[in-house]
Amino acid sequence: MALYEGIALIQEKQAVVLDLGSEYTKFGFTGEAAPRCIIRSQFWCSTERRFKKVYEYSTPEELYDNLVNMLHLLYFRHVLVNPKERKVVVVESLLTPTLFRETLAKVLFTHYEVSGAVWADSPRMCAMTLGAPVTLVVSLGAREAEVAAVVHSCVVLRAVQAQPLGAAAVRAELLHLLRQDCGPDLHLPDHVLEDITVKTCFVSPRARALRWQSDSPPEPARSVRYPLARLGAVCVSGRARELAAEPLFRRDNELASLPDIVLQCIMQCPIDVRRALAANVLLTGGAASLPGLRARLSQELAHLCTLPPYSSRLRLGEFKFHRAPAHDMSCAWLGGALCGAGEAGGGAGGGRLLSRDVYCRERRLRDWVNLLDNTPPHHPQRDHLDLTL
């Protein structure tokens, strides 16, 4: 046996990083700058003879089968590695349902028999790519927008905000505008609407958006023709291109627009970190790639700070936005790759690692909403929690 082959057998192999989103999945190895694959979160279901999404389930058993098929696609078609030889870093949202987390752990440890796994929340992983002590992470995913404040590697849980203002809201508004221009009978699948949004849509400045709401609208942008396989082509007007992203900034009585939840998150944080949060905003997610979004969000935030209820509680300076050293879609994945490579090479997280032996004994995961995991060992109520939970 050659010397380098013996060293390769002794060394622990790189862990894999899994970011299983509702629309796209990022998968790759720790220590690398980008995922090995970014694919849709779907697989070919042989029983139903169609492509089925991972999050399309009605029972825990169906979710288990979906995750088994999805991970088989990732491990054996896209990266070609043995799951038993690699630890896993799972990057997830803070609002991931408990059923999904526990089912994923069951699939990893019992079906694929991975040796260990680390569950890492996406806000801290995004902040890790910057190296800043205080970061305000604004994540625009496929379905919802999440805003979380990361202060010295800790997420301020009481300040986390979430609203259904993701890419799905932009696609729904785009379809509504296209039907106004092309007729109410226009039907386009989600992947076509997504492609139209990426290739043609942009976010207007605040002054121009206000003119669209007035009696004297501005001169619209140039219209474009989007070719379709069977319908020939659809005309995307300049008005539809500009106004598709307006639902993100549309205010209502509940103050649930994207700028509102950003300011509400800052208000819920300690007063001594609010200026630092405003100066370290990180916009991530697939919908964050829309041209003009950062400039428009900065303008809206500066304007809302002069209105109640924020004018009496916030004294913020200028809002500054960071650019992560990765694509907006894979920022959280890159943080997971750094987390997994930071300790013991491929050891994937050191003390936070959940080994397969420990999981097989306890059959439970640590969760920030569980008092048993958040109560210190010497707390007077700890014994009572051990008995009740």
Q: For the chain, what is the total number of helices (H) and then of strands (E)?
A: 15, 16
Q: Does domain 167-247 have CATH number 3.90.640?
A: yes
Q: Tell me whether the CATH fold assigned to 13-126+329-388 matches the one assigned to 167-247.
A: no
Provide the CA 311 distance to its chain's centre, in angstroms: 30
Pick the CATH number of 13-126+329-388 from 3.10.129.10, 3.40.50.300, 3.30.420.40, 3.40.309.10: 3.30.420.40
- In this prediction, residue 6 carries a pLDDT of 42
pLDDT at 9 over 60: no
Q: Residue 278 pairs with which residues in a beta bridge?
A: none
Q: Residue 89 pairs with which residues in a beta bridge?
A: 17, 118
pLDDT bucket at 342, cuts 50 / 70 / 90: low
Compare 324 and 364 and report the one with higher pLDDT: 324
Give tens-digit pLDDT for 307-332: 988 988 888 878 999 988 888 899 99
Residue carrying structure tokens 């997504």: 194
Give tens-digit pLDDT for 117-168: 999 999 999 999 998 899 999 999 999 999 999 999 889 999 999 999 999 9
- In this prediction, residue 232 carries a pLDDT of 79
Q: Which of 27-36, 219-228, 236-245, 339-348 has the lowest mean pLDDT?
A: 339-348
- 209 burial type by CB count under 10 A (0-12 exposed, 13-18 middle, 19+ buried): buried
pLDDT at 304 over 90: yes
**Percent of residues, the chain, with pLDDT higher than 70:** 89
Where do the structural domains in the chain lie, given as residue ranges? 13-126+329-388, 136-165+253-325, 167-247
| Contact between residue 19 and residue 119 where contact means Cβ atoms under 8 Å apart | no
CA distance linking residue 278 with residue 209, whole number of Å: 24
Q: Residue 161 pairs with which residues in a beta bridge?
A: 147
DSSP sequence for 73-138: HIIIIII---GGG--EEEEE-TT--HHHHHHHHHIIIIIS--SEEEEEEHHHHHHHTTT-SEEEEE
Rg of the chain over Cα atoms, rounded to whole angstroms, equals 23
Pick the CATH number of 136-165+253-325 from 2.60.120.380, 3.40.50.12280, 3.30.420.40, 3.40.980.10: 3.30.420.40
Residue carrying structure tokens 């699939």: 107
Tell me how long the chain is: 389
Of the ranges 109-118, 312-321, 352-361, which is most confident?
A: 109-118
106: left (phi over 0), alpha (psi -120 to 50) or beta: alpha
Per-chain mean pLDDT for the chain: 88
26: how many CB neighbours lie within 10 A of its CB? 26
pLDDT bucket at 179, cuts 50 / 70 / 90: very high
Angle, helices 293-304 vs 206-213, to 10°: value is: 80
CA distance linking residue 262 with residue 283, whole number of Å: 11
Angle at 140 between CA 104 and CA 227, to 5 degrees: 100
Give tens-digit pLDDT for 193-241: 999 999 999 999 999 999 998 888 889 889 999 988 776 789 999 999 9
What is the average pLDDT across 13-27?
93
Encoded tokens for 345: 């090479």
CA distance linking residue 251 with residue 248, whole number of Å: 9
CA separation, residue 243 to residues 42, 205, 237, 240, 287 (Å): 30, 11, 10, 5, 15
Give me the helices (H) in 111-257, please: 122-128, 167-182, 190-200, 206-213, 238-243
- In this prediction, residue 133 carries a pLDDT of 92
